[in-house]
Chains A and B, each alone.
Chain A
Amino acid sequence: MIADHLPVLQVVIPLIAAPLCVLVQRGAIAWILACLVAFACFAISLLLLLQVGDGGVISYHLGGWAPPYGIEYRIDALGAFVLVIVSGIAAVVLPYSWPTLSLQIQPSRRALFYAVFLLALTGLLGIVATGDAFNIYVFLEISSLASYVLVAQHRDRRALRAAFQYLVLGTIGATLILIGIGLLYMMTGTLNIMDLSERLPEHYESRTVQMAFAFLTVGICLKLALFPLHLWLPDAYSFAPSSVAAFLSATATKVGAYLLLRFVFTVFGWEFSFEVLPLDLILMPLALIAVVAGSLVAIFQTNVKRLLAYSSVAQIGYIVVGIAYANQTGLTGSVVHLFNHALMKGGLFMLIGAVGYRLGANVQLTDLHGLGRRMPFTMAGVVIAGLSLIGLPLTVGFVSKWYLVKAAFEAGLWPVAAVVLASSLLAVAYVGRIVEAAYFHPSTARTANVSDPPALLLVPSWLLVVACVYFGIHTDATIGVAQGIAQSLIGGAR
């Protein structure tokens, strides 16, 4: 009986646990509660992925009201896949977060921190689970408001500035999405996503629907941090507490990409997005600029978290490149890169956070000097995840780049393939700077006496690093799911 309610439990469990965290007041208990909730969500999302594995769709009617009048929770393969990414990263980051909090957040605020963290999780899972356009907006705001608060928790006062900037840009993005949804409702009189997708084809020529598409795309790209709308991201990630940076970098932008996929392919449909309107002509150049500029700027950063943040801008570019191909191979690469980037960037942010835990500071590149010997396990993890970022064979980064390059040849866009490959060289440069600082410099006075962080920090980070390699070798699992998703998204169009 409970199995029927899995789609909604996914969202309700963290939502109910959040106020409980406030009530228990003790940070440690709130932490354990949050961890249990994240594990439960992860288990549920895996069950959901199994249920929809063979192309099925789970439709859950909230309160028993049938769609399109009631709110429908609708989980298809893409939804279940993104749910697994979000809840999986939460299940890894939450156990990790406790030791780092002791440095970054006052004891009285720790229970509140977990309450807000769970609200952010609720919002992100809700966006993916729901099949109602307005519900998406509400969950988007729940997750965004919670993330503004999370970013502001660092002791460095510049975190406040970063959070404020994030709040202004995030709200503008969400409001643009709200306008888009309103215009869609104006033309079709429905908010249910499936209902929208059925009713929109007769309005393809309508200026209102085209404007709705424009508003939604720009709003989602702001949330997704696609160049040139990425300005909030580097500050927010480099000043956020390390567990928050790891969680948000691995999930928030992925959910943004999910929204882009959902609206472009499911709601508006391939034909409208790429034939009636030239979405690929807009997304492709921006994504390629993001790939190159993000990597270039990353090379010149001195703060390691900021370097990783700019690398995120580039990696988001890869995801959007895959969408802009508008063919099945490109989409497969894009969807699989959602998962792969979450693994490697989550792992890297967590490991750098572990370094920061030992050094008690926001890590600069010069702080890494000599750490290759002092913190062998931490830095080995950084090297493996970094190689994956470059796209070396046997790591997950290679798998997604392979599909992105293959799709470029299928679409006859060989310059795009050249840019994707060239930007891998840029990744070599910025990952190389981290490796060089850690392994080819003698330790300084600050790093002479540090050692590997406690297992509570190291084990969750290494789980992600091992997953980077495991899914780089056993590619069938992720590619199989991603191909199914790409096929169902493009449907009969190609």
Chain B
Amino acid sequence: MDVLGHYHYWISIVLMMLGFYIVIARGNLVKKIVGLSLFQTSVFLLYIAIGKVRGGTAPILDDRFESYSNPLPHVLILTAIVVSVATTAVGLGLIVRIKKAYGTVEEDEIQERDADRPKP
């Protein structure tokens, strides 16, 4: 199996797992959002790698260019990037409100401060 030849997939897998690990392991909500962004970004790289043709150029209609990369995944990922930015914005917005309501952005402290409330 060609392991090194697929290095672009390895990059996205490693990035994805890093992001996923941060989301799970970190108690700080801002760090969780950073991890989530990393998780999404790894998928963008996967898409961009799909569209690339070795030796291909940008899709320019001209006699001098014979092979070009598929632009569609790249366009798709522009949309996904917008979605990711929106997700990050909503997440950070929630964190701002959590900070105002609780005075902290650490998950364990938030749980402590709710401990005296009646169980939902």
Interface residues of A (CB under 8 A from B): 134, 137-138, 141, 145, 148-149, 152, 157-158, 160-161, 163-164, 167-168, 171-172, 175, 178-179, 182, 185-186, 235, 238-239, 302-303, 306, 362, 364
Contact = CB atoms under 8 A, between A and B. Distances in A.
Contacts of A302: 119
A303 B119 contact: yes
Contacts of B72: 185
Q: Main SS of the interface on chain B?
A: helix
Of A137, A152, A160, A185, chain B has the most CB atoms within 10 Å of the CB of: A160
A172 B43 CA distance: 11
A157 B102 contact: yes
Contacts of B108: none
Interface in B74-88: 76, 79-80, 83, 86-87
Contact of B23 (A134, A137, A168, A186): A168
B87 A171 contact: yes
A35 to B, nearest CB: 26
A171 B43 contact: no
Interface string B57-99: 0000000000000001100100110010011001100110110
Interface of B: 20, 23, 29, 32, 36, 39-40, 43, 46-47, 50, 72-73, 76, 79-80, 83, 86-87, 90-91, 94-95, 97-98, 101-102, 110, 114, 117-120
Nearest to B12: A179
A238 B7 CA distance: 45
Given A148-B94, A168-B23, A157 B47 contact: no
Contacts of B90: 145, 148-149, 167
Contacts, number: 79
A152 B97 contact: yes
B98 A145 contact: no
B118 A178 contact: no
A347 B49 CA distance: 48
Of A158, A161, A239, A302, chain B has the most CB atoms within 10 Å of the CB of: A161
B87 A161 contact: no
B120 A167 contact: no
A167 B118 contact: no
Nearest to A361: B118
Given A157-B101, A168-B32, A171-B40, A182 B94 contact: no
A185 B50 contact: yes
Contacts of A178: 43, 80
B116 to A, nearest CB: 12
A112 to B, nearest CB: 13
A141 B98 CA distance: 22
A309 B29 CA distance: 25
A137 B119 contact: no
Contacts of B39: 171-172, 175
A282 B50 CA distance: 30
B36 A171 contact: yes
B101 A168 contact: no
A182 B50 contact: yes
Given A145-B83, A160-B97, A168-B36, 18 more contacts: A134-B76, A137-B80, A148-B90, A148-B94, A157-B101, A158-B120, A160-B94, A160-B98, A163-B94, A164-B91, A167-B94, A171-B39, A172-B36, A172-B39, A178-B43, A185-B50, A186-B50, A362-B120
Given A145-B90, A182-B73, A175 B40 contact: yes
A292 to B, nearest CB: 22
18 contacts: A138-B83, A141-B87, A145-B90, A148-B90, A158-B120, A160-B98, A161-B110, A164-B29, A164-B94, A164-B95, A164-B98, A167-B94, A168-B23, A168-B91, A182-B46, A185-B50, A185-B72, A303-B119
Contacts of B40: 171, 175
A148 B43 CA distance: 22
A238 B117 CA distance: 15
